[in-house]
Chain A
Amino acid sequence: MSNLANPMMHAAAVPLQAPGPSESALVDRVRRGDREAEYALYHLHAPRIHRLVFRLCGDAALTDDLLQDAFVRAFSRLDLFRGDAAFGTWLHRIAINLTLNARRSTQRRDRWIGEMPDDIAAPAEPALDHDFQRSFNEAVDTLSPGQREVFVMHTLEGYTHVEIGEILGISEGTSKGRLFHARARLRQLLARFAPEQTHG
């Protein structure tokens, strides 16, 4: 499986585990009610979380709401953070869960296409639209939720499989497997856009 070096990856991605003891020190200060530490943690993680949430939900207003929800929940429930994982991982987990729940609610409300287990194929026919970007977007949206999450996080946003595993609560192998199936599905759906092979 190719590991795409995508130019769209967020080059300035903040690692989930910020270097040095500063993050845990900030968390300790937040526990003591330090607003400046809250602000520092927010600025450390908000840009990357905002990008990821928007990639997953595609709605600017909803992204702002979910970003705020994630931080409000994280700061107000800091007593539940035991420090087993990095604060950034925990925060991402909260944000992702909120995003997936919001997307699910929206899908149900709008009677969109229902969720499919990872091992059930999506409809075989790609959209009858020859505009590549539109077809690409539809193809990604056709992936199962699990495949789409991993594809977006890994390929578009540059998270490692280890990070994805920690955030989504799945194994690294499962993350790789979902990406493999996602790519297989995209290969199928985007086949007509593939440049012709040159041999020799």
Chain B
Amino acid sequence: MDDRQLDALISTGAGGYHTPPVPDLERSWTQIQRRRTTERARPARRWWRPLALAASLALAFSLGRWSSSSAPAPAVTAQGTSTEQPVTTVAAMLLGESVVLLSSLPQEMSEAQDQRFAREAGDLLLTTRVLLDAPAAQQNAALKALLEDLELVLAQVARIQHGESRAERELIRDAMQQQDLVPRIRSVAAHLAAGD
């Protein structure tokens, strides 16, 4: 088959391949405006939030260590040690932030997007590492395993360089998928939020 014949076949078939319908642009515009209005009403994501999480976790962790070394005995409640509650709260917030970040990782990004994703991943990575050292995480095998997997993926995202091939991003996605990472995060976050 020569090019002319192929062109003729393509020309014939093109008309029936996902032929676009007439769009209702005004209805879509109304939806866009509605979503834009909702978005404007929502508080903006603060860049310093992951750092604040890390700082509060570090503070909680330090206080726990200080209190356990100075007090005669660590306060143990039905929920665990006294430092466990802030740790689980921060862990739940970390996991929530991580799901948002990892789920929205686009295949290709502008340089500014690359930098923003890498920076946010770096912030979350910091929190993850601090959390990994916390006794509450050490005592919870599922949480610890999850944080270790999360640490690896966040480290990859934090190292994203603008101009990297799409294949590199696919590797990150594949790693997330193989580890079933996002569903596991959601599951653990739900348990933490429920106080399990």
Q: Are A190 and B6 in contact (CB under 8 A)?
A: yes
Q: Are B29 and A39 in contact (CB under 8 A)?
A: yes
CB contact between A133 and one of B16, B29, B106, B112 (< 8 Å): that residue: B16
* Chain B, range 1-33, C-beta contacts under 8 Å to A: 1-18, 20-21, 23-25, 27-29, 31-33
Please judge, given known A-B contacts A2-B7, A72-B32, A136-B9, whether A67 and B23 are in contact too, CB under 8 Å.
yes
Instruction: Point out the residues of chain B lying under 8 angstroms from A177, CB to CB.
Output: none
* Chain A, range 36-50, C-beta contacts under 8 Å to B: 38-39, 42-43, 46-47, 50
Give the docked Cα–Cα distance between A97 and B113 (Å): 13
Give the docked Cα–Cα distance between A132 and B116 (Å): 48
For residue A173, CB closer than 8 A to chain B, the reply is no
Most chain A beta carbons < 10 A, residue from B8, B11, B113 = B11
Q: Are B21 and A46 in contact (CB under 8 A)?
A: no
Q: Are B108 and A97 in contact (CB under 8 A)?
A: yes
Nearest-neighbour CB distance to chain A for B106, whole angstroms, equals 5
Nearest-neighbour CB distance to chain B for A153, whole angstroms, equals 13
Q: Are B29 and A42 in contact (CB under 8 A)?
A: yes
Most chain A beta carbons < 10 A, residue from B11, B15, B23 = B23
Instruction: Point out the residues of chain A lying under 8 angstroms from B111, CB to CB.
Output: 82
1/0 per position for A156-167, CB-CB distance to B under 8 A? 100000000000
What range describes how many residues of A lie at the interface? 35 or more
Q: Are B7 and A101 in contact (CB under 8 A)?
A: no
For residue B39, CB closer than 8 A to chain A, the reply is yes
For residue A11, CB closer than 8 A to chain B, the reply is no
Give the docked Cα–Cα distance between A90 and B10 (Å): 29
Q: Are A71 and B32 in contact (CB under 8 A)?
A: yes
Give the docked Cα–Cα distance between A50 and B24 (Å): 10
For residue B35, CB closer than 8 A to chain A, the reply is yes
Instruction: Point out the residues of chain B lying under 8 angstroms from A39, CB to CB.
Output: 29
Nearest-neighbour CB distance to chain B for A165, whole angstroms, equals 12
Instruction: Point out the residues of chain A lying under 8 angstroms from B177, CB to CB.
Output: 108
Q: Are B39 and A136 in contact (CB under 8 A)?
A: no
Instruction: Point out the residues of chain A lying under 8 angstroms from B1, CB to CB.
Output: 187, 190-191, 194
Give the docked Cα–Cα distance between A16 and B130 (Å): 47
CB contact between B6 and one of A57, A67, A187 (< 8 Å): that residue: A187
1/0 per position for A1-27, CB-CB distance to B under 8 A? 110101110000000000000000000
Q: Are A136 and B11 in contact (CB under 8 A)?
A: no
Give the docked Cα–Cα distance between A55 and B33 (Å): 25
Q: Are A64 and B23 in contact (CB under 8 A)?
A: yes
Give the docked Cα–Cα distance between A108 and B174 (Å): 12
For residue A86, CB closer than 8 A to chain B, the reply is no
Instruction: Kindly list the 10 A-B residue pairs having the minimum CB-CB distance in the complex, ordered from nearest.
Output: A136-B13, A2-B3, A8-B14, A194-B1, A58-B18, A54-B20, A50-B23, A51-B20, A133-B16, A169-B108
Q: List 27 A–B pairs whose Cβ atoms lie within 8 Å, in order of A's numbering.
A: A2-B4, A4-B7, A7-B14, A7-B15, A8-B11, A39-B29, A46-B25, A47-B23, A50-B20, A56-B18, A58-B18, A60-B21, A64-B27, A68-B32, A71-B32, A72-B36, A97-B107, A108-B177, A136-B9, A136-B13, A137-B13, A137-B18, A156-B14, A168-B108, A183-B6, A186-B6, A194-B9
Not counting A2-B7, A50-B23, a sample of 6 additional A-B residue pairs whose C-beta atoms are within 8 angstroms of each other reads A2-B4, A7-B11, A38-B36, A72-B35, A137-B13, A190-B9
